[in-house]
Structure 1
Amino acid sequence: MLILLGALGILAVAAWMALPFRFQLICIGICAPLQIFIGSLSLPIAACVLLLTAVTRVVRLRRANALLFLVAANCLVVLVVGVLHRSPFRDYVDAILYAAMLLASVVLGLTIDGAARNSLLSMLRAFLIVAAADAALVIYFRLQPAAEIAFFQSALARAVVNPNTLAALFAGSPNNALDPDKAGAFFVNANAGSAFLGACLLLSLVIARESRRPGRWSALAVLFGAGVVASGSKTGLIMLIVVGAWLLVSSNSKRSTFRLFLITVSPLALFWIIPVVSAEALSIGTATNTRGILWRQAAELIAQAPVLGSGFGAWEQWTARTSHLIGSSASYPPHNLLLSQWITSGAVGVAVLLGIWFFALRAAMSTIHARTLTVLVVWTIVQSLGDNTGIFLDNHLVGVLGIVLGAASTMQSNVQSETAPVLKVA
């Protein structure tokens, strides 16, 4: 049986390698918003397609850069932390998958040259068309909350939502998508869903600028914006307003991207820091008060092992004794990626994370779409500082955005070697 499965696997790889790269990228774009889980496995088809494509393309990798080094280091950190702290594999299998998807996507991006530029744009178009279904569902579910509960109990939800997450949704770990004032559709968390739709909005603007008929993509951007509002996420709404205002008034210059970062992050930094200092005195609200409690708990745990971290699963054990303070289960995450990374991986993990963000921003700033792509990366960073998301949101976005950033990170070296850039340099 194992021999048969191995033979079938080899045939599948060979058949996939024979397909045009453009078709492979389009498949990645189609699969990313849907994910599609096979049976009770928490391994989505989107991850399989992405990893398989990276394996078949890695031989075309001609250069490495800092971004590739850091995402590879992130994979190594996850593995070393898991082994060093003897964490149960189930506690970090999702972290391994996410890190592998990020690495695979950057590798693919680095193999894209000027000749494959249209293939990259085709992937983004396919991605946005499929993602539009999520935006439409979010709007519909916000108008009909009962329909969303029925959706999460349907066979379709079991195919497009992580089986483990879906099972926990109705078994002691409810999420805010069940709140009638919020909607998530393919996401059980409305905040994560709104960030995904915000990223789709910005990518729609990129495609509109590249298209001969920008009207249809601009209309799609409006749909994604409406989805952000309908999600009921306060963070998403604030980001939508700030980002929209900035894109309207900013000039298309590289220098403006630094001001963009400061203007976007500063209001939200105050919004989140104030409750941590004095949440009870200021009574900012339930969400911010809850985060204040979580972040203080995180700081206490970090102080126990600031350099090497405490490993995967340590947070759940640490908060088991205080989960009643916020009326949740002990598995309620810190809602801040920096703190979460520091808890599990220590100072080394934090340094890798900050490095990835820095070089991702640098890559985004290197293209003619600097304003839009930089805002996209900033949005994902800001969202991760107040919600439970990964380096670039979750599995729905990390593959596509990783490919875009990997391709963008080759801009300067391509220009120096007089090769046509994948995206024009401003």
Structure 2
Amino acid sequence: MIVSLAAIAIVFLVAFVVPHRVRLLIAALLVVPQLDTPGLPLTVALLWTILTCVLGLLSRGRSRADSPVLTVASLFVIVSVVSLLWALPSGQEEAYISISRGVVFVLWLREMIVVARDDPEFVDKITLWMVPGIVLQSVLSILFRLNPNLEEQFLRSKVAAITVGPSAEALYIDAPNNVLDPAKAGGFFVNGNVASMFGAIAALVLLTAARRTGRRWVYLVAGLAILGSIATGSKTAIFLAMGCALALLFAPRVSKGGALLGVVLAGVAVVASLSIVDEIVQRVAPDFHSATDVSLDTRTELWAVALRVLSESPFFGLGFGGWAEEVGLSLGNAGFRGSVAYAPHNFILDAWVNSGIAAAVLSVVYIGVAVSFGLRVIRQQQSARDARTAMLCLCAALWASIHGLGDNSGAWGDHRTAMVVAMAFAYLYVMASDPKPTAAEHNRASQSKPASR
């Protein structure tokens, strides 16, 4: 506890001394790993990020962060806080985790929108400062998938106690998770699906940075992040990756069409990608396909249970802790196990269960606003290349939400993933505000000019 308090004191001291731009870069550097503070509810990274964003909020002379995405996300957090009034005592920890993730997302998103409007090129720099953590996370995921024993040694070590937190020790006591499966790997995450989501979104954001800055080595880091995402063993990543590929293919057409055409093409791309990938996976990896079917069947049953329970309490839901106490036990007795028995595995249903129908409606509105904004930015682009770059950002911004439709990861993932999702939105705001030519665009323009005689 003394060490933790000393760490917090140092964080406060340094945060108030260094310039705000340095604070932002340090927050990016600390995305992974988070550095736990034993005995306290906040990690060093979480505390630094919140403090940085609050100080940024108090600063004068900066642009406003008026954004429909930010507004809807903020309302969702407010509704979640209000729902504490009917939360069960056993759900207090769950409520803290959920609300804190929302707070971090809202604060960091606001900060990134301001940066995108005041200094667009600094968004690239913040992204690049996330690279060390992304590389480390990706390498660990790959190594742990190749050698599950190495992962167990790491998770039982004192290093994991600091870099992963108490959830590492809890894996072997009372909170097992899927990284214990040899077919899964998590790196600094205890859930392979969440690790996969982080790696995939980070890869898309890095690809955006690479296209904007012209730095080829960033493409290599993005490729490593993709490999790390695949190494986690998450089935969702393969389906979503194919959907993103088809969305990029249609991006130039979206940029030339209207809003309705963009939505139609996006829907066709998603449906087509799911059908194509399902057929390919069934032929190439039948065992993998069978496991996917089992996972989907389980979730379908969970959703049916959730809707039945919510029909009895549609307005307020069950409150935080209600699902575990009123439904989880019976699901466990029925053969559901682990986290499956204690979460609906759909972020809209999860919001409804925990905070009521208002939270569920805001969850749906959040996706709608994000899609609408992303398509509008894509249509603003003057070239096919820029349209595809904007589509990359939109895919990154929506990945967590789409993933969360079949998992218990929420609309923007955990604290770490939420910050990367916010970076994707930041790039959309950069491209929406018609910034000055990026370094890569400037270089291409210079090369295209005829040489002087």
User: Which residue of structure 2 lines up, in the alignment, with residue 222 of structure 1?
Assistant: 223
Change (3 A) 1:114 1:342: closer
User: Which residue of structure 1 lines up, in the alignment, with residue 234 of structure 2?
Assistant: 233
Among 170, 181, 184, the residue aligned to 2:186: 184
Partner SS state of residue 32, structure 1:
coil
TM (norm. structure 1) is 0.84
| 2:202 partner amino acid | C
CA–CA separation in structure 1 for the residues paired with 2:275 and 2:309: 22
User: Which residue of structure 1 lines up, in the alignment, with residue 28 of structure 2?
Assistant: 29
CA–CA separation in structure 2 for the residues paired with 1:177 and 1:240: 22
Shift of 1:174: 1.8
Among 263, 271, 290, the residue aligned to 2:269: 263
My pick for the range that moved more, 253-262 or 92-101, is 253-262
Change (3 A) 1:80 1:266: farther
Shift of 1:98: 0.8
Partner SS state of residue 388, structure 1:
coil
Among 304, 314, 319, the residue aligned to 2:312: 304
My pick for the range that moved more, 367-376 or 178-187, is 367-376
C-alpha contact (below 8 Å) 1:411/1:423 kept by paired residues: no
Partner SS state of residue 64, structure 1:
coil
1:157 aligns with 2:157: no
Partner SS state of residue 144, structure 2:
helix
My pick for the range that moved more, 65-74 or 150-159, is 65-74
Partner SS state of residue 174, structure 1:
coil
CA–CA separation in structure 2 for the residues paired with 1:337 and 1:142: 28
Shift of 1:311: 0.6
Shift of 1:56: 0.9
| 2:26 partner amino acid | C
| 1:55 partner amino acid | V
CA–CA separation in structure 1 for the residues paired with 2:307 and 2:112: 36
Change (3 A) 1:355 1:87: farther
Shift of 1:191: 1.2
CA–CA separation in structure 2 for the residues paired with 1:231 and 1:395: 19
Q: Gaps spanning 5+ residues in structure 1: where?
A: 273-281
CA–CA separation in structure 2 for the residues paired with 1:68 and 1:200: 20
Deviations 1:53-82 (A, max 9, x none): 111111345353322222221221111101
Give me the identity figure in percent.
Answer: 24
Q: How does 1:17-416 map to 2 (within 5 A)?
A: 17-59=16-58, 60=62, 62-85=64-87, 87=89, 89-163=92-166, 165-213=167-215, 215-247=216-248, 250-251=251-252, 253-254=254-255, 255=257, 258=263, 259-264=265-270, 285-317=293-325, 318-329=327-338, 332-365=342-375, 366=377, 368=386, 369-405=389-425, 408-409=428-429, 414=433
Change (3 A) 1:66 1:87: farther
CA–CA separation in structure 2 for the residues paired with 1:42 and 1:265: 42
CA–CA separation in structure 2 for the residues paired with 1:70 and 1:301: 26
Shift of 1:283: 9.6
Q: Gaps spanning 5+ residues in structure 2: where?
A: 279-289, 379-385, 441-453
CA–CA separation in structure 2 for the residues paired with 1:265 and 1:81: 36
C-alpha contact (below 8 Å) 1:109/1:404 kept by paired residues: no
| 2:45 partner amino acid | A
Deviations 1:17-56 (A, max 9, x none): 4433332221121111212111143422222122111111
Give the number of equivalent residue pairs: 403
CA–CA separation in structure 1 for the residues paired with 2:417 and 2:271: 21
CA–CA separation in structure 2 for the residues paired with 1:271 and 1:319: 33
User: Which residue of structure 2 lines up, in the alignment, with residue 276 of structure 1?
Assistant: none
CA–CA separation in structure 1 for the residues paired with 2:332 and 2:437: 51
TM (norm. structure 2) is 0.79
